[in-house]
Amino acid sequence: MTEPRWDGLIVGAGLATLDGEAYGAIEDGAVAWSDGVLTFVGRRDELPGDAASLADEVIEARGWITPGLVDCHTHAVFAGDRAVEFEMRLGGASYEAIARAGGGILSTVRAVRAADEDALFEASRPRVEALMRDGVTTLEIKSGYGLDFENERKMLRVARRFDGDGLTVRTTYLAAHALPPEYAGRADEYIDAAIDWLPRLHAEGLVDAVDAFCEGIGFSPSQTRRLFECARALGLPVKLHADQLSDLGGASIAAEFGGLSADHVEHTSEAGVAAMAAAGTVAVLLPGAFHVLRETRLPPLELFRKHGVPMAVATDCNPGTSPLLSLRQAMQLACTHFRLTPEDALRGATTHAARALGLADRGVLRVGQRADLTLWRVRHPAELCYWLGGDLLDASWVAGRRRS
């Protein structure tokens, strides 16, 4: 019988496989891969034969290995910043008041429209690199700051440029993010335009999913449904900014279209939660926005648990309401504000986040899964949520390739 050959083997570190209870923890573990896929996950003493002779590279490690982190909701491609609005909110201005005064999303739209593609890429690169430095190996990036065909296209093209060496990027079309000034008072006509742009952008290979901001200061349920009908006709999955500021039934709309996720969900009703459970829609918790906006209305966490709805955790990295450059910090905030356990938060930023992107090949350490691995300088996985900041990352592998 031929002995297996592995491209890489790591031994000695603990494994938080997330394949089972209590982190699926394995002390003094071993993980091996070939052709970017995990081929062995277990204890070091379970390795077959002379392990050193089976692998092209053997790494002796300390600390803990988890699946690579998955940030399943970001707006990381943008230009400019909105630090002044942060000051305004601290002075008492509400999110809605800033938006209605021409700030908020539209101020970022102006900055994005003014930047060419290369400038937008360079402006966004430090944010993407910061997320990668804190363990992210898969990243979702939305459009939604262009709000016309050429600028939405520009944003999606920039997002695609980050996909490849050391990072997987999933792109989400979010033209239904805000009403641009040239369409003031004509929201239905703008949705018509956004529907017209979608097949053209999809034909260029720029769209992996479709999203909308279903809210009183965004778009109505009927407008959201029209956009989602177009997505369904193109075979594109949907996600939704749902029930963040009020309950417009957004979670139920996401579920109606078999949505990958409903995101924010602070005001979601039990009927919406039940619909999500029936559709297999993931709840994406965004504690960064909750924190920055100083919200007090918690998502219906016990209802999600009662109905078995998986809860993902993401940064919502954006210039206005969640200028957050660490998914690990989002995990910590989810524990502090939402009372998730560190294990819940880690699963939320790996297993459940991968599901929220429709990716079944990552998010858990198991033979046959993609070899996306993160090695941390910690003595227990709970430390990933315990430390407020700090440099805990030792190394990351994406599809079995060590990231420099």
Residue numbering of the annotated binding site for 4-imidazolone-5-propanoate: 82, 145, 177, 244, 321
Angle between helix axes 187-203 and 221-233 (nearest 10 degrees) is: 20
**What letter would DSSP give residue 145?**
S
**CA of residue 190 relative to chain centroid, distance:** 27
Binding residue positions for N-formimidoyl-L-glutamate: 145, 318, 320
Question: Residue 349: phi, psi to the nearest 5?
Answer: -100, 10
Binding residue positions: 73, 75, 82, 145, 177, 241, 244, 316, 318, 320-321
Asked if 340 contacts 302 with a C-beta cutoff of 8 angstroms, the reply is no
Residue 211's Cβ-count burial label (10 Å; 0-12, 13-18, 19+) is: buried
Binding residue positions for Zn(2+): 73, 75, 241, 316
First to last CA, the chain: 36
Give me 278's structure tokens.
Answer: 């029936």
**CA of residue 289 relative to chain centroid, distance:** 14
Return contacts of 98-102, CB within 8 angstroms, 24+ apart. 99/178, 99/217, 100/217
Binding residue positions for Fe(3+): 73, 75, 241, 316
Asked if 111 contacts 151 with a C-beta cutoff of 8 angstroms, the reply is no
Following DSSP, what letter does each residue of 310-373 receive, concatenated?
-EEE-----SSS-----HHHHHHHHHHHH---HHHHHHHTTHHHHHHTT--S-SS--TTSB--E
Distance CA 117, CA 114 (A): 10
Nearest-CA neighbor of 141 among 161, 123, 114? 161
Angle between helix axes 117-133 and 149-161 (nearest 10 degrees) is: 40
Distance CA 320, CA 310 (A): 27
**What letter would DSSP give residue 403?**
P
Nearest-CA neighbor of 155 among 187, 189, 108? 108
Give me 47's structure tokens.
Answer: 């390795």
Contact residues for 196 (Cβ-Cβ < 8 A; gap 6+): none
